[in-house]
Structure 1
Amino acid sequence: MPLPFLTADRAFETTDDVALPFDNRDHWRRPYRPGPWRVGVAAILLLLASYVLFAAVIIALTDSPSEATVVFGIAVLVIAGALRLLRMGVWVCGRGVRRVGFLFTRTVSWEQVVAVRTAQQPVRWLGLPRTVQGQALTLVRQGRGPEDAQPLLTTHNADFLARGQAFDRAADAVEAWAAEYARG
């Protein structure tokens, strides 16, 4: 079963001078591949879900369908969590930029974007409360100051930890989309 959200578009990895090499720019795209930390955690969750599904089958064979249904539901929740974890990140299209989190998704239209820039600042390490010095791709929205800029990507999140070149390519791609469509 192909998982289109797991792979980035190959056009972002080319060395052409074309920053936005797509015919259909209204299709949401992630301009980078998910990082090894994110994929590894999702793989472990899917492995755990396979054991839970096997346990549900064993429980169902022992004539306890209500308990098997509960265990099967837990497995479905673990699978949904793993797939949502893989879907997390920044997505772009001709209409705006979308930041997909584990529980919430926020979309900002390009008309509201004043600037998208890379800045050296303290960033959260793997999304934990601990901060380290790193780079962040920040989005400044209309009607808000630069101090309210929300980071889209950081060098220390699950996609770019120890992958500086991948962060630079992804930041350049998002900045190219912003240069093409944003007001500022």
Structure 2
Amino acid sequence: MTSLKSSKRQVCTNCSYPQSTCLCAWVHPIDVPLNIIILQHPKEAKHAKNTVKLLALGVANITVLQGETPEDWEEFVKDVIRQPQDYSVFYPHPHSTSLESVCSQVQKAENFPVNHNVIFIDASWRKALKIWHLNPWLQLCSSWHFANPPKNQYHIRHTTQQSSLSTLESVAYVLEFTHSIDCSSLHTLFLKMQTQCFLQNK
């Protein structure tokens, strides 16, 4: 592990967390059968507690695209419009389908084949809704929501939305449900980030 000196504190060049709370010991990247694509609101990217930063450490094949409008993701939007059947988006709305309604392995394989592209929106609920409305091309993809998600373990951020999950938890749940991927290393990294960086002095 190496570090670089900032004006305020030393930061690990591997995990990008302060050296005093380095998470490298718990970073064990996993290869996953789906292509994870995160549409991240720019303000969320600046939030110290965002979990996409952890996903980038813990998942090998992940793409993070920052922005808010179609103009921010022009080439990606063109790809989706050309082949919307190759993409699924996880965002709850009146016409989305419950992930849990896909029960059999055959159904899972049909809806989430290997190398399928799955899109998640990383933003506050209000900003995620804005992104959804500003990007009608997302509605060309199959849309999914969680009917029975696991209990939220995001203890350092609060939301008024019931049954809400962090982006990391959402990605892990999809991987676990669709392909039975062992995401224990992701959950451990998530827990250690919270205890090491934000809860240790409480």
Q: TM-score range by the shorter chain?
A: 0.3 to 0.5
With normalisation by structure 1, the TM-score equals 0.33
Q: Which has the higher contact order (CA 8 A, sep 6+)?
A: 2
Rg comparison, structure with higher value: 1
Greater strand fraction, Structure 1 or Structure 2? 1
With normalisation by structure 2, the TM-score equals 0.31
